[in-house]
Structure 1
Amino acid sequence: MTQSQVQEQADARNKIALVTGAGSGIGKATARKLLANGYSVVLTGRRQAPLDALADEARERGEDAFALACDVTDAASVASLFDAIRLRYGRLDMLFNNAGRNAPPVEIDQMELDDWRSVVDTNLTGVFLCTRAAFAMMKTQTPQGGRIINNGSISAHAPRPLSIAYTATKHAITGLTKSVSLDGRPYDIVCGQIDIGNAATEMAERMARGVPQANGAIAVEPLMDVDYVADAVLHMANLPLSANVQFMTIMASKMPFVGRG
């Protein structure tokens, strides 16, 4: 470990982070990375069991993990989560808005309204609810301030075929990120976005089997180790509040993003 890494880990001690969608994929990898680097991490997601398993794993290593299920689409559930964070830790230093979902890949005229609403409720309203609660806590805690990192997507820049709900919400996240970044300035609340392309998780397994391209072809797409994403989030989280990664794109080098369409 380099001297700078040692210092970063020391600076992270006693910092409290909340990771949504922590039970699997990018959220799980990022929670592990934060825990290993000195953060106390609140793990949340829809299902309690995988959160408990991750928290037990962390405690075996002497790390501080707090697992609590939450439905980010439900305002009362989010309020209860933040009440629990306030009671246990008294503050929140970093929120990683990671929880998200997709809809079936169908033509626009075939999309069910319930599927549309489910994606919007999770990917956009859920981020708003968690951000609203985090902003309120960070604004009033001592010392004031904190960091919010939103999981955008390559789809915040260019859509995949048959992805209107997911793409629309990820474009909206970019606007939300900019607004929070601006509105948080008086309170030392910073907000950035990480746009991820083809991390090797359960959600991206279909890429290795072949997925539709803009030209109508089906093609296998390269994947990258999800740990690289966790490293990137850790880098963003470890910055002092006087500095911010506003937008970061991390992707498998050979995935068809540059030149898509």
Structure 2
Amino acid sequence: MSGAGKTAIVTGASSGIGRYTAIALLNERWNVAITARRMDALRETQKLSSNPGNCVCMTGEITDEAFVIDLFKQTVSKFGRLDLLFNNAGISSPQIPIEELSLATFQNVLNINLIGPFICTREAVKQFKAQSPPGGRIINNGSLSAHVPRPHSHAYTVSKHAISGLTKCTSLDGRAFNIACTQIDIGNASTDMGGRHGLGALQPDGRMIQEGVLDVQHVASTIVHISSLPPDVTVLDVNIMPTNIPYVGRG
């Protein structure tokens, strides 16, 4: 199997893209540390794989610096090194006009979608530089909204534009250390967050229309493929979405 002996950390692995990606990596014989806030859901992710013995579950907040530091420490202590970080954990917020958006909501989205990935990226880079041989890969879960926003999505869209900056800075500064960084921009995967657009999504002209939805398994297999590449090969950006989604020329 392509991942034998390799180690990954997957954040937000209790459901959706994080869950299916963790399962796909475990099925490819990766060692995987998964994290989220609910242990019961993490245990379910672990049980759904064909290789549960190579999985460790840790609950905590990715915005908690002490927790993240311990997450990386325990992962490396158990498995010996780190080869992949998938910065997946994230939230959205209600689609409301900016004048109705509270500062607390805006800050919460930024904390989880940006501050958390920053802390995780920092700790991953430390480990990638320190281990022998040095190097590794980070994959950031971006969004189509990192390029083209939906209506009334200030907090989420701003956070995902910032992830693009984090991705590019990490890729640039990681060059000399064999550290690769990818941003995967996913459109309407069949999860609780993305799948709802298949029932109806607000368009810029005010209409609500049903949009295409992508099987989340295709997202997971794409991430596994990128993860299988050697760290001297970078896929900076990848976009995966239903063919009929209104993205190019939204609305």
TM-score clears 0.5: yes
Which segment is superposed worse, 214-223 or 83-92? 83-92
| Range moving further from structure 2, 202-211 or 124-133 | 202-211
Partner of 1:26: 17
Indicate the residue corresponding to 2:6 in structure 1: 15
Q: State whether residues 36 and 63 of structure 1, in contact with CA within 8 Å, keep that contact through their aligned partners in structure 2.
A: no
- In structure 2, runs of 5+ residues without a counterpart are none
8 Å contact kept, 1:35–1:63: no
- What amino acid does structure 2 have at the position aligned with 1:87? S
- Structure 1 residue aligned with 2:160: 170
Percent identity at matched positions?
Answer: 45
Quote the Cα distance in structure 1 between the aligned partners of 2:166 and 2:195.
29
Matched, 1:207 2:197: yes
Cα contact 2:202–2:209 (8 A) shared by 1: yes
Distance in 2 (alpha carbons) for counterparts of 1:169 and 1:61: 34
The worse-fitting range, judged by mean Cα deviation, of 79-88 and 211-220 is 79-88
Matched with 1:5 is none
1:191 is displaced (CA, Å) by 0.5
Residue 62 to residue 50, structure 1, CA distance change in 2 (3 Å): closer
Q: Report the count of equivalent residues.
A: 251
Secondary structure in 2 aligned to 1:68? strand
- Report the Cα distance in structure 2 between the residues aligned to 1:222 and 1:190, rounded to whole angstroms: 31
State the 1:32 CA deviation.
Answer: 0.8
TM-score, with length taken from structure 2: 0.97
Q: Which runs of 5+ in 1 are unaligned?
A: 1-8
Divergent runs of 4+, >3 A: 60-63
Confirm or deny: 8 A CA contact 2:10 2:86 kept in the other structure. Answer: yes
Give the one of 72, 76, 80 matched to 2:70: 80
CA 1:217 to 1:57, structure 2 compared with 1: closer, same or farther past 3 Å?
closer
Q: Distance in 1 between matches of 2:124 and 2:207?
A: 43
Structure 1 residue 107 corresponds to structure 2 residue 100: no
Which of 216, 229, 252 in structure 1 is aligned with 2:242? 252
Letter in 2 for 1:254: N
- SS of 1:117's partner is helix
Partner in structure 2 of residue 123 of structure 1: 113
RMSD: 1.2
One-letter identity of the residue aligned with 2:238:
M
- Displacement of 1:39 in angstroms is 0.6
Asked if 2 retains the 8 angstrom alpha-carbon contact of 1:20 and 1:99, the reply is yes
Letter of the 1:32 counterpart: I
**Equivalent position amino acid for 1:31 in 2:** A
2:43 paired residue among 38, 42, 52: 52
